[in-house]
Chain A
């Protein structure tokens, strides 16, 4: 006990307001998180109340003294939920400005600016090129950084939503004085409080005294059932203990007096909230891959840059020249357009998903859904409608199913069923509001709803006005009401309750139009039926009635409900009604399709194992009745390894009676197996799991605010089938992203190699840094994004989720860097050489010319035909050549875009039906024209108004690309050369 208390005190220390252990705020937050992940471990609900009073230093009659309360308040802090310490905005902004390629681009910008400054200090009129380039690079960086900042930065409203669940005032006993307006946040451990119907419980309390006290614990269990709570012995698991009521639960019936056990963050809900707000979702598979790829690319770029820099320094180039080399290499190596393209593609898909009633809050979740290997689904409200319905009726040895088509006939003819209908309509506290809306207990609502289909309970009620009633309580487990039969002027006693309780009070049973006496056989039959129905997860209510003798009970007989002066035994048994929360319509077929797509579906619910199993079988999560069921209690005793093994051993698992923390554990165990986990849930209790999962899916209509706040995806129509669409879209977008990335990377090759040519062969620079940016962030963008509009090439739902298929594979790198990219490079160089040759510089002349070419002081560089070129003329020619190279890249990229439309099928088969892409190609061409021909723009980007004929130089190479790739895809389709192409270049 001591150890328990000490662990208790240590966790309560952690949540004290004045940072007890002197930890840094981030450390404190993570320590708090790990403390929260553990199950509540306490015995305060088990020890006798007297001991508890001593432990808490309180008194049930007078409550705490104000002084002591104030001391405790100062020490432990307010009874509120503490928001987690997050990165502050500037810190987060800084972080998003310095991730991925950004650092390299910053490096480039710094090099540019320092080159400019050096030039400024040494020359009277420095060229502003470096200044411009530096500014452009900074702008690129800022835009990309702010872009990703807004994507990452979501102001955490989770805590706010939780806090809105808490009431403002409560009734509290202090110094022997009952104060009805005590502020909830001033409550401390040991306070004595009173709650009554309609109140929200302001802290975790242990019941001292109660009457008919019922709470709705849906925020912790997800089940919208009013459960009774009173002063009895507690059970080991505090969450199921019948003598504890929790923070944020709604009192739906009765009143209670209780002593506060926990406050604020330490309450059961506080822990859920703390977990939901503090947990960082695992990075999505896509972002993990992009990060890995970016790291690779950056390392390559940096290594190459450093190599070039040191080489040129050793060779004795001045700093200026070296920095130009390095900037060129770095900028060319980085696919700047990658991040914006992926974001844009995902955004477009998200927009498309909204039209399918699927709101995507976190873009990467779409792709993660495609990669998802496991779905952990909550039961109530997600798989089921969270609405009780009558499913079975039993009378005299016969079970009727509501769904049976002939049921209506039975109902008309059977007298016993008629009595049951009347009994059901009368023995109920539910009320019918005018517009047909029914208010009341879930099962009573269900019964009335059912009756509305066959008769009118309202008229029945008018015919039988209620005289008195004994309401349901957990001791009696039945409910009695007495009605006046206005026609016969006799009294009718009706009773409803738990089957065993009712059965023991009955002596006869209604059979057709007569009553026959109850026998052991019949009792046995009733019990069997009850058991059978209960096994399918139904909740059973039994009904009985008794026509009171008009002689014995004349009109205006004074019925006394306190000491019943009327028979509560020797009744007539009418029948049973089986109630059930039915699965949503489309769930079964949706789960079938999801499983066909290789995704494992597990159920994780707070409900009873039997109900859970029944629903699991009904919706197809479990295919055999013997599916593996793990309850919360078993889970408590499981080591993480055992849980891991269980998950590996059984494919179909149902987790029942799980606490919010356990849901989180299950998700983490699945993730540890390397799975991508989607969690669907609607309740507050799902929040931590939703947050931690790779994809949190919440219900738009039935879902609680908290679950919507934590989820990545919200199903607006609560339709589980939308998840199937989501998986399909996710897989499609992944395939298409591969195409986009391939397309973007290919233009990298004709960007890097010119710089290498420039350095190695000393030819005038074939492609300027500005033009590189123009390709990466200009002409390439729309076509790259438009590839995300491509149709799926194969049936994406017919294959299992990708596990080892990365976004950027070695095969793609091979195809890009060794094949297609080189063709583009050849096209560019060819165009460059032709323009040079047409002006008199034959290729042979160009090699080794750079020294003279880039020297401002040399006014006469001789070409192959003896003409002599001044510096300005040379530079203009260089611009023309670079522009031609740029145009060649644009032309080949257009062809490349057509090539990238398919990875497997022939273009002739797929056709050019993607209009976004077609417009994108035209846009690319127009943009290239604008960059070349608009005065001012072309001086800024260092391009040149080209002659028309130079636009066509790249065409033969575009044709080669097309032929090569069609041939490659043909080989892949037909598995030619022993599948060599498949193994080598099929990305």
Chain B
């Protein structure tokens, strides 16, 4: 560190030089700026010479390269440690937990909205919803000719769960009339809504597979259905049941009869999900057969299994849909 000389320490020559050094003419702000950008005298660009700039560039190149390499090495190492087919953390040890969420299609275009709204007599207004659904269901229309994914498909039944590594087929035609060819019945003011259960790796539902001990909160019609099913075929009870109903008494009146297709729930043979090639989530088409027009109807759909918890406020185990047909 050099000690700054005070004036009294300077020699007379130094003082002379100090007082009579070449004075530069004062520059305007614009000139100063121009001088800063490119100084022809010192050949400096932005206050530095080319050599200085290239040194800086070299240094930062090396430094950032080293940093990038470190990040890449760390990332690569850690990702290598992970299994590409299954998550590192599953079920309860993962944050995703064991409570699959219920979702619906078509999704409204507005952010954070769950309102399906259209005019029954205006094809333009429901075209959006049909397109939305077609897009969503595209992957369900498997091309039989196409190889690859098709090989995995297994025609499952309640008595015939898929073997390991195979996936169950989802039959698009079983949703009729909620099919694309029919415009998902939107034009008749009887819209279809598709419900889906979130995929959680290795999650197995615990079914309500007996008509006894059904929870009191379960709607009567579902209880009735389960009782009927018990009488019909016990295999059909291995199902994650679904119920949809109006949220308020008024909604319950407005909603009209509801049809669930192909079953009243998600068949058990689709579970557990284990990231199989070509796996498709089971869907339930909810067909509102006679919704009251010109009214906003709040619908709450709920999935039923012993290990699906329900909290209306948090929206756990259920989904909230608003629909309005004019």
Contact of B95 among A650, A842, A873 (CB under 8 A): A873
Contacts of A843 in B (CB 8 A): 75
The reply to whether the CB of A957 lies closer than 8 angstroms to some CB of chain B is: yes
A834 interface neighbour in B78, B112, B201, Cβ under 8 Å: B78
Stretch at the interface among A184-192, A233-241, A857-865: A857-865
Per-residue 0/1 for B1-41: is the Cβ within 8 Å of any A Cβ (1 yes, 0 no)?
Answer: 10110111000000000000000000000000000000000
Q: Is the CB of B70 within 8 A of A866?
A: no
A316 to chain B, nearest CB (A): 11
Chain A contacts with B in 829-868, Cβ cutoff 8 A: 829-830, 833-834, 837-840, 842-843, 851, 855-860, 862-863, 865-868
Cβ–Cβ contact A651 & B7, under 8 A: yes
- Among B4, B55, B94, B97, point to the contact of A800 (Cβ < 8 A): B4
Q: In the complex the two chains form, is A838's CB within 8 Å of B198's CB?
A: no
Tell me whether A838 and B87 are in contact (CB under 8 A).
Answer: yes
Q: How far is the CA of A873 from the CA of B315 in the complex (A)?
A: 11
Q: In the bound complex, do residue A866 and residue B279 qualify as a contact, i.e. CB atoms below 8 Å apart?
A: yes
Task: Decide yes or no whether B302 CB sits under 8 A from chain A.
Answer: no
Residue in B8, B67, B85, B89 whose CB lies within 8 Å of A822: B67
Chain B 88-104 per-residue mask, 1 if CB under 8 angstroms from chain A, else 0: 11000011110011111
Question: What's the Cα separation between A437 and B246 when bound, in Å?
Answer: 103
Q: Given A859-B102, A865-B201, A865-B275, is A838 in contact with B314 using a C-beta cutoff of 8 Å?
A: no
Q: Is A22 located at the chain interface by the 8 A CB criterion?
A: no
A649 on the B face (CB < 8 A): yes
Among B3, B7, B198, B316, chain A packs the most CB atoms within 10 A around the CB of: B198
CA distance A313 to B96 in the complex (A): 34
Q: What chain A residues lie within 8 Å of B79 (beta carbons)? A: 837, 842
Choose from A598, A648, A842 the contact partner of B3 (Cβ within 8 Å).
Answer: A598
Residues of A contacting B1 with CB < 8 Å?
799
How far in angstroms is the closest Cβ of chain B from A594?
Answer: 14
Q: Does A576 contact B (CB under 8 A)?
A: no
Q: Is there contact, CB below 8 Å, between B111 and A839? A: no
Interchain CB contact under 8 A, B7 and A648:
yes
Q: Which of A625-667 contact B (CB under 8 A)?
A: 648-651
Known: A799-B3, A839-B96, A872-B316. A867 touches B89 (CB 8 A): no
B295 CB-CB contact with A under 8 Å: no
Does any Cβ of B come within 8 Å of A146's Cβ?
no
Q: Indicate with 1 or 0, residue by residue over A821-832, a CB within 8 angstroms of chain B CB atoms.
A: 011001001100
Do A839 and B89 touch (CB < 8 A)? yes
- A151 interface hit (Cβ, 8 Å): no
Question: Residue among A839, A873, A877, A980 with the most chain B CB within 10 A?
Answer: A873
Q: Which residues of chain B from 268 to 326 have any CB-CB distance to chain A below 8 Å in the complex? A: 273, 275, 279, 281, 313-316, 319
Report yes or no: B82 in contact with A868, Cβ–Cβ below 8 A: no
Given that A826-B70, A830-B75 are contacting pairs, would A867 and B8 also be in contact in the complex, using a CB cutoff of 8 Å?
no
Using CB atoms, name the residue of chain A closest to B317. A870
Most buried by A among B87, B89, B97, B196: B87
- Asked whether B128 is an interface residue with its Cβ less than 8 Å from the other chain, the reply is no
- The 8 A CB mask of A212-228 against B (1 = contact, 0 = none) is 00000000000000000
Contact of A859 with B198 at beta-carbon distance under 8 Å, contacts A818-B60, A837-B79, A838-B87 already known: yes
Interface: A544 (CB within 8 A): no
Contacting residues, chain A, for B199 (C-beta < 8 A): 862, 866-868
Q: Across the two chains, which residue of chain A brings its CB closest to B96?
A: A873
Across the two chains, which residue of chain A brings its CB closest to B273? Answer: A866
Q: Which residues of A774-815 are within 8 A (CB) of B?
A: 799-800, 803
Residue of B nearest to A801 (CB): B4
Q: Which residue of B lies closest to A861 (CB)?
A: B198
Q: Is the CB of B82 within 8 A of A838?
A: yes
Q: A649-B7, A838-B88 are in contact. Are A876 and B198 (CB under 8 A)?
A: no
**Assembly CA distance A964 to B102 (angstroms):** 51
Kindly provide the distance from the CB of B172 to the nearest chain A CB, expressed in whole angstroms.
20
A800 and B2 CA atoms in complex are apart in Å by 9
| A880 adjacent to chain B (CB < 8 Å) | yes
Q: Determine the residue in chain A with the shortest Cβ distance to B79.
A: A837
B171 to chain A, nearest CB (A): 21
- When C-beta atoms are compared, the residue in chain B nearest to A825 turns out to be B67
- A867-B95 contact given A819-B63, A833-B75, CB 8 Å threshold: no
Contacts of A857 in B (CB 8 A): 107-108, 111-114
CA distance A872 to B317 in the complex (A): 12
A839 and B198 in contact, given A318-B111, A826-B71 (Cβ under 8 angstroms): no
Contact, CB under 8 Å: A867 / B87: yes
**Residues of A contacting B315 with CB < 8 Å?**
859, 870-872
List residues of chain B with CB within 8 A of the CB of A858.
103, 107
In the assembly, what is the distance between CA of A875 and CA of B64, in Å? 32
**In the complex, chain B residues 36-70 whose Cβ is within 8 Å of any chain A Cβ:** 55-56, 59-60, 63-64, 66-67, 70
Report if A860-B101 is in contact (Cβ < 8 Å); known contacts: A855-B111, A867-B200, A872-B316: yes
**A956–B96 alpha-carbon span in the complex (Å):** 29
Contacts A837-B78, A870-B198 given; indicate if A830 touches B71 (C-beta within 8 A). Answer: yes
| A869 contacts B by Cβ under 8 Å | yes
Hey, which chain B residues are within 8 Å of A860, CB to CB?
101, 103, 196, 198
Q: Does A144 contact B (CB under 8 A)?
A: no
B86 touches A (CB below 8 Å)? yes
The answer to whether A840 touches B319 (Cβ under 8 A) is no
Q: How long is the Cα–Cα vector from A716 to B56 in the complex, in angstroms?
A: 53
What's the nearest-Cβ distance from chain B to residue A115, in Å?
14
Residues from chain B with Cβ under 8 Å of A869 in the complex: 96, 101, 198
CB nearest neighbor in A for B1: A799
B110-125 interface bits toward A, Cβ cutoff 8 Å, 1 = contact, 0 = none: 0111100000000000
Complex Cα spacing A858 to B100, Å: 14
Is B149 an interface position by the 8 A CB rule?
A: no
Quick check: A839 and B87 within 8 Å, CB to CB? yes
- Distance A29 CA – B319 CA, assembled complex (angstroms): 71
**How long is the Cα–Cα vector from A880 to B281 in the complex, in angstroms?**
28
Pick the most buried of B71, B85, B104, B314: most chain A CB atoms within 10 A of its CB. Answer: B71
Interface residues of B (CB under 8 A from A): 1, 3-4, 6-8, 55-56, 59-60, 63-64, 66-67, 70-71, 74-75, 78-79, 82, 85-89, 94-97, 100-104, 107-108, 111-114, 196, 198-201, 273, 275, 279, 281, 313-316, 319
A-B contact pairs, 17 of them (CB 8 A): A598-B4, A651-B8, A819-B63, A822-B67, A826-B71, A838-B89, A839-B94, A839-B96, A842-B79, A860-B101, A867-B87, A868-B100, A870-B315, A872-B315, A956-B74, A980-B55, A984-B59
